Structure 1
Amino acid sequence: MTIKVGIADTTFARVDMASAAIKKLNEMTSKIKIIRYTVPGMKDLPVACKKLIEEEGCEIVMALGMPGGKDKDKVCAHEASQGLMMAQLMTNKHIIEVFVHEDEAKDEKELAWLAKRRAEEHAENVYYLLFNQKFLEKNAGKGLRQGFEDVGAARE
């Protein structure tokens, strides 16, 4: 059985995060069919994800975006995030939000590294949500992060 996985990304992003996610998913399993949908900007992601679920039959979708460093970019990212949450509730399907803010990195080299790594690590999460939820359950509360280093569990 093949499961459809949607990948929604934007032309506004400065790194091709989708290719990194697709490569990682294909390395992890051959039991998926990836459908990519590229839109101009972050605020277009919610409808792209909803269309991937409702019109293309995707079981889960990754929404990949890269907000700029200005205040208006952060507002747009927040609005896109709220739209993604609404789309999840409307479709009863996971949409894994993978945003990398330009100001998270100290320079462009780190930005490119972070965007690809976060996309790959969230692709792993998509795999686990589809095929091995027990893996996620056993890692609950461990302070795992996507991109930069994990912070670890809080000490009791």
Structure 2
Amino acid sequence: MKRIAVIDTTFARVDMASAAVRTLRSAGTGFSILRRTVPGLKDLPVACRQAMIEDGADLVIALGMPGRADYDRTCAHEASLGLQLAAVLEGRPIIECFVFEGEADGPGSLETLARRRAEEHALNAYALLFRPGDLRRRAGSGQRQGFADAG
């Protein structure tokens, strides 16, 4: 049985992990879910790597919501680099799902975007583990998570 870790932050303004977990459960079977929460974006890389090393996660979905300030963009960049390093070191995928507060016009649209992006990344995670042919068929089709597709 595969193990998928879903790790989010308390800094985020939307509970994206619940949307991701709900979507994974409706996508299929053959896996268990490990859910963890850390304070902020820069805590995600260590938590993701620990989920792989200590808990045997085959794939991790890292969910975060950087704020609007320039500093927040810098933190998101550093966290992203850490997530990439953790994935390479462990040889297992980490699906990064960040929603920047400035991507939406208001609280309602931010919540909709965050939930939608988390759901779509969860479906991608499921496909990566169980249905890689689905991803192959969509290659080059302009898929976007959270917004309308470009292709």
TM exceeding 0.5: yes
Q: Which residue of 2 aligns with 1:124?
A: 123
Shift of 1:90: 0.5
Shift of 1:30: 2.3
Q: Which residue of 2 aligns with 1:49?
A: 48
Which aligned runs of 4 or more in structure 1 are off by greater than 4 angstroms? Answer: none
Count of aligned residue pairs for this structure pair: 151
Query: Identity over the aligned pairs, expressed in percent?
Result: 53
Query: Where in structure 2 are the equivalents of 1:3-152 lying within 5 Å?
Result: 3-152=2-151
Shift of 1:139: 0.6
Gaps of 5+ in 2: none
Shift of 1:3: 1.0
Normalised by the length of structure 2, the TM-score is 0.99
CA RMSD of aligned residues (A): 0.5
Inter-partner Cα distance in structure 2 for 1:44 and 1:36: 15
Inter-partner Cα distance in structure 2 for 1:110 and 1:32: 32
Secondary structure at the aligned position of 2:96 is classed as strand
Cα deviation 1:23-46 (Å, max 9, x = unaligned): 000001121110011000000000
Gaps of 5+ in 1: none
Normalised by the length of structure 1, the TM-score is 0.96
Which letter does structure 2 place at the counterpart of 1:59?
D
Cα deviation 1:57-108 (Å, max 9, x = unaligned): 0000000000001000000000000000000110000000000000000111
